[in-house]
Structure 1
């Protein structure tokens, strides 16, 4: 009768473990494979493109099954977590040979999730796991990167602020308690994030510490190993950094371009000449979190200025830093116990560069660089330990031996002597047997399945001695064993197994020794990363002709001949046109007009990026730079909608504008581009005027406001803190030519039809457009030359038809006047009468 596979001890064991981890793919270790069964196998085979088969096809119940080799598991874990799934690794925790139960003992040894997966592929990006805890009235937030050890926590006054922080971090996964999950899911609006719920019970004393403990609890429960790689938790106030909301980070293209969603075309791309992955990660972090502490900014500027004077030192440092492997990542692998011998050698080589870096800095004539050298700990004793113990060419697998240096351990040397002696005996035996049998091609070999053997080809079978015992038959040869060879096989294999086992134990002891020193390694890693970024800033400053920005207390912007740091480096830009950004203290709002494609958005982004560069300690692209310290940057640049939430371009625009109006202060920077264009002309203009009025009267932030509504330029007559600028353009023989230069005053027109002409629209379309434009300009009641105010355009009461009767009657009288038959005196009398009627209408 066929066996019921589902009732086998192993499948019962599988189902029991799967019940504990229902939300994860269960990878069940069977020999050299991780297997998936049932629904996991069906879905996993589709997601990972694996062959779906079944367990025990002869049984009456076939169980779907698919699997992956254990040595290739990382590839599949990476793919699953990238898609937002979790995986539980169930390993054999006892030797199958010594198992006494119905099946080998298995346990889940790690749960891999999107926020906890440590990749060896993309080390320049952090992989943050965040925890959000909704308290009353505050919201707790904590986040960690297991690959670097970063661990921080804080609190916010509202959930939206915490969500913006998580989005800004590009967190892959959010942990929360069950009762909070629905609010968080709603706030995230279907963004691609994994939300993990737990039954953690907060103490409700400090919501930020509760969030931290929730995060640590989740990490401990999923990783099931030491968390010694995590740095001491650091509390931070969001107000410590220049605040840039998620939308503004996207609009300014800080770390990714809007069009491609990649590094190329971003500020990060323009600045990142770092030599180490640690430095690249830190630079990204600095760009996303500019400083508010002017003394710390100036300290960074001091290092950049000192390095700028030392060309040879900069060059030497760059080459030395290139040889420093990722100390943060290696520290995490040591803490998690999954570092291999080659990576241990990488750690050694990285530490061996530190004395050279210290010497280079110490040779400088700049005291700040000498002091930096003194602050670096070489940790040469760790490098020397690895040098003495780990072989330079050690294999990746650490359980099969040949990783520990000769002379490091006496017992290991004895095993190796025995192994060497045994191998020598094998070589001597082969030579002796060739001579004794006359079989010149006889060989003594070994494989893991059959052990040692004597191989004789079929043509020499007649020469095989009587004491050879047949062991294996091949297509063209036979393999034999002798009692003497069997005896030495046992001795050799015993020595080899003991040697490999001892090497593994020694390797773990060395790893644990270094594990105790991880805080020192991590501190050194942070110092090297910082040095790398500062050296990069000095390289950028020299190569791109950047200047040191002065931080003032006057709320005054003085950028002379400033450039866009990204656009000027792009392949498409032949000759970038610099521009001044001059906003004295009393100039809070600048209205910018000019044609499309002339560079208005570039000019606005340019200011935003220069502010960020200044507040991370970098020099900036300008001939002269003086800036106040900004606390927040808000942008409304570019047209985009949010299909996931069903929000139109105009709704997105209004929400971003709302954040700027509600949250900005007088120390903020606001960049608004074409507010109101997503709706009807009068609606859009009304909203734009109201926003400018609110900014002028209530916020007082430095604001650049780009618009095609020329009527807005007349607001400068009413608002003392507002002025007008326009981007120059000229018409030559009917063709529009951009000069990309910012000039005082408003633009004379939008040149929209001319831009359409440049885009290559059919000639008839352009011709008709010019015709309609002239007609509109004749009949329009709103133009830059009309008297203009918010009141008379947008705040009139509804007009009743009866109120218009006097005007209609007056118009009829004017039309009835026969000018050809009036004398000059009669004409003057008619005009006097009409004036009286007009005055009477005004009085009414």
Structure 2
């Protein structure tokens, strides 16, 4: 068998180290993929699959892409969850021998910097998990912004909620954890889980202290988080190994706990439709789609974080609200700040690119121009009195030294590519200025030389030109070839003429091209030095980025408060939720008719638990959700959609809404309901807000009533949490009448000529009818069906046998029963259902089932 070529041997040696990645192997102007990598990439990228050494023993599948189109293809592979290793040529391919090649970075879903694959207003998080005796350490980073945090928890439900909130693009776990049977189902719910292990000589604590250049981690407040440190050390090592850089933009690690913010679990984020609608999964129609009028990507990402991390500290909430109030009252200040922050680039991702050695010259211009806006913003904020705006003004910082340095070093309009030159200003580097003078002088000489040769040869059309293949040459048309001097050496023959050179032209060519080549190399060297200087300012730039983001979000809150007629809620510490004419923040933006507002009062004295009855489409669910959303908005620091609001801080918002299967995990509708209910009952406190919408519909009526009844009693007697419970089960109004701190409420209905109009107004008292048939009519069911339903309902209400419709119309035969079944039917007919309690009904059903 023939031996492999040196190039393929080199490829195989590198591929051996990157078996889990698609290896992009640089060959000239292309990246090539071989073997199984080529098959997979060609399928995902829809590019042609060919073969190398076709028809030989070493025939190998192959595909390739142009090197300049790399980013376009990378985004498709990353979206498909693939890992890509970029192998570059590191030596001059024109020299003898095989070209030196190395993997310069590994790109994964959690480490991509490609703008085409990133959402501007979403973080791209990567998470590292470790576990010891059911206690978890979690570290999270966003490579694109430098964010780096850690936490620990012994509660897997908290862990799951945190992972759902973060929605990481990639999760890193040690192999030993990946192999544990008990966590297999949990890991299957996560995206792009990869294993990564430190070597026996690597210590997570030392990895962190070495990176941050500190003796310990006390200054970050994480010194005692053993599992958090382990997760963070693994994650930082993984990021450095894949990026092959120092990652200086990761300048700190923060500790955070679930007790700092309100925890929003998966069910609540989904049921309140914070980011996507439940029905279509679309962004439009979500709470964020209504709230987000931010002007910068920085602000957009911070708004999303604030939405997922509502505050628990009253003072912090008040600080935000005071800032919003000041922007509302000082409209000229708000307008001026808004005009300035519109001109600020995405500073976080910009320094992320610098930290990962992916910045281009124009990034530095964007950085300079953005930082030059900071003094103007600070000047506008000078007269502000709210504590938060004063703090933000301070945090914006002073960047005069850096902006002056960038102004001196980088051209105002540099080339986009480093390889093109044209980056550094004249006067910044003496050696560069000298080379440019040589180059410029040489070009002047060429113009003079052309004039000299025209005079000498008397060929007026003679041109001295240049291209990258043939260098400098003299071009003469065919009609003038008889006038060419003897010292001209033919270089190339064309259809319409010929190209020549001379000893004198060749000498100057070498001088000019040598200078230009040295100019580009020197500019590249200086650019790297400038980047290094910028990294020394990362901490203050990141602080400024945070301050700009906060300004953007506070301005955003002020804008929507003004446009949407929101009010500043008062905050109480008495456990009271008192809303006058509250509105649903999303629905009111998407309906043509005026939204019907409603009052709500919840407290621990008489209105701790509200049971809301009424038909579908009457507004029950909207009322429940708007109560939760108003509380959520308040704890973000926003104003709220109401005429007036006095709200307490809630520690959690729990929601159990509608009926849904989780078939992928083998969970039925009823089981899903019960699991969500169990989560609420196990984790809610007296300071929580519970929203229950149609609990118990996933089973039989009596089972559902019984379970809902007992849950009402449990919440009332054991939890004491403020609760809104919407139901179709009118039987539940009886239990409310027996409990102390509960009230029955219903949705107002108007009846006219047998037709029902839902008024969407919430009133005290219980609903006596369900109006299900009217809902069916509104839904557009055929009139014949509606009439038949009314006939059946009337028969049921009169407790007489339902008269079957015309046999031909029905199209089916009467059901034939055996003797046992007939006996059970007789027993059912003898029952007086109105006198049975839910428990007695369940017992009777069990007895009858035994007879069958």
TM-fit CA distance, 1:273: 1.2
Q: Does 1:129 align with 2:126?
A: yes
TM-superposition CA deviations, 1:530-550 (whole Å, max 9, x none): 111111111221221211122
Residue 106 of structure 2: aligned partner: 111
Q: Give the 3 Å change call, closer, same or farther, for CA 359–637 of structure 1 in structure 2.
A: same
Deviation at 1:376, TM superposition (A): 2.6
Question: 2:121 & 2:436 partners in 1: Cα distance?
Answer: 42
Aligned counterpart, 1:501: 521
2:174 aligned residue? 177
The aligned runs of 1:48-197 (5 Å cut-off) are 48-57=45-54, 60-98=57-95, 102-121=97-116, 122-183=119-180, 186-188=184-186, 190-191=188-189, 193-197=191-195
CA RMSD of aligned residues (A): 2.6
Provide Cα deviations, 1:18-45, integer angstroms capped at 9, x if missing partner. Answer: 1111111001111222111111111101
- CA offsets per residue over residues 496-537 of structure 1, 9 Å max, x none? 011111111111111100111101111111111111111111
**CA distances 1:322-366 after superposition (whole Å, capped 9, x unpaired):** 001111111111111211111110001100110110111114466
CA contact (8 A) 1:715 1:722 kept: no
In the alignment, is the contact (CA less than 8 A) between 1:444 and 1:452 conserved in 2? yes
In terms of mean alpha carbon deviation, does 438-447 or 70-79 score higher?
A: 438-447
Q: From the superposition, tell whether residues 785 and 740 of structure 1 become closer, same or farther in structure 2 (CA, over 3 Å).
A: farther
Match of 2:447 among 418, 427, 436: 427
Q: C-alpha separation between the residues in 2 aligned to 1:465 and 1:192?
A: 77
1:663-719 Cα offsets, whole Å, 9 max, x none, are: 111111111111111222222222222222221222221111111111111111221
Deviation for aligned residue 1:417: 0.7
Q: Which residue of 2 aligns with 1:223?
A: 243
Change (3 A) 1:194 1:372: closer
Query: Retained in 1: the 8 A contact 2:4–2:58?
Result: no
Q: How much does 1:11 deviate?
A: 0.6
Q: What is the aligned partner in structure 2 of residue 690 from structure 1?
A: 710
Asked if 1:537 is matched to 2:557, the reply is: yes
CA drift at 1:430: 2.4
- Whether the 8 Å contact between 2:251 and 2:538 is mirrored in structure 1 is no
Alpha-carbon distance between aligned partners in 1 of 2:294 and 2:850, rounded to the nearest angstrom:
75
- The runs of 5 or more residues in structure 1 that have no matched partner are 804-844
Tell me how far apart the structure 1 counterparts of residues 724 and 370 of structure 2 sit (CA, whole Å). Answer: 47
The 3 A distance-change label for structure 1 pair 802 and 219 is closer
The 5 Å alignment of 1:419-818 reads: 419-570=439-590, 572-586=591-605, 587-779=607-799, 790-794=838-842
Per-residue deviation, 1:16:
0.9
Question: Measured at CA, do residues 745 and 618 of structure 1 come closer, stay the same or move farther in structure 2, by a change above 3 Å?
Answer: same
Residue 133 of structure 2 aligns to a residue whose secondary structure is coil
SS of aligned partner of 2:115: coil
Residues 662 and 669 in structure 2, CA contact (< 8 A), matched pair in contact too: yes
Cα distance change on mapping 1:470 and 1:181 into 2, 3 Å: same
Q: Which moved more, 1:343-352 or 1:227-236?
A: 227-236
Counterpart-to-counterpart distance in 2, 1:432 and 1:775: 113
* Count of residues paired in the alignment: 797
Q: 1:699 to 1:788 in 2, by over 3 A?
A: farther
Choose which of 271, 283, 294 in structure 1 pairs with 2:291: 271
Per-residue CA shift, 1:612-650, capped at 9, x if unaligned?
111111111111111121111111123332232233333
Q: Is the 8 A contact 1:361 1:372 kept in 2?
A: no
Please give the residue correspondences for 1:373-388 in structure 2 after superposition, counting only pairs within 5 Å.
Answer: 373-388=393-408
In the alignment, structure 1 residue 314 sits paired with structure 2 residue 347: no
Structure 1 distance, partners of 2:833, 2:565, is 44
Cα distance, 1:444 vs structure 2? 2.1
Cα distance, 1:603–1:48 mapped onto 2, change above 3 Å: same
User: How far apart in 2 are the matches of 1:767 and 1:27?
Assistant: 69
Which whole-Å CA distance do the structure 2 matches of 1:616 and 1:488 have between them? 69
Deviation at 1:588, TM superposition (A): 2.0
Rounded to whole Å, the distance in 2 between the matches of 1:26 and 1:367 is: 53
Structure 1 equivalent of residue 811 of structure 2: none
Contact residue 171 and residue 190 of structure 2 kept, 8 A:
no
* Structure 2 spans left out of the alignment, 5+ residues: 206-224, 801-827
SS in 1 for 2:64: strand
Kindly state the Cα deviation for residue 794 of structure 1 after the two structures are TM-superposed. Answer: 4.8
Alignment-derived partner of residue 828 in structure 1: none
Quote the residue 1:816 is aligned against.
none
The higher radius of gyration belongs to: 1
Residues 733 and 744 in structure 2, CA contact (< 8 A), matched pair in contact too: yes
Structure 2 Cα separation of the partners of residues 380 and 802 of structure 1: 86
- TM-score for both structures, normalised by structure 1: 0.90
Structure 2 length-normalised TM: 0.89
Change in CA separation of 1:801 and 1:795 when aligned onto 2, cut-off 3 Å: closer
Cα distance in structure 1, aligned partners of 2:620 and 2:468: 72
Contact 1:25 1:86 in 2 (8 A): yes
2:616 & 2:648 partners in 1: Cα distance?
30
* Alpha-carbon offset, residue 757 of structure 1: 0.8
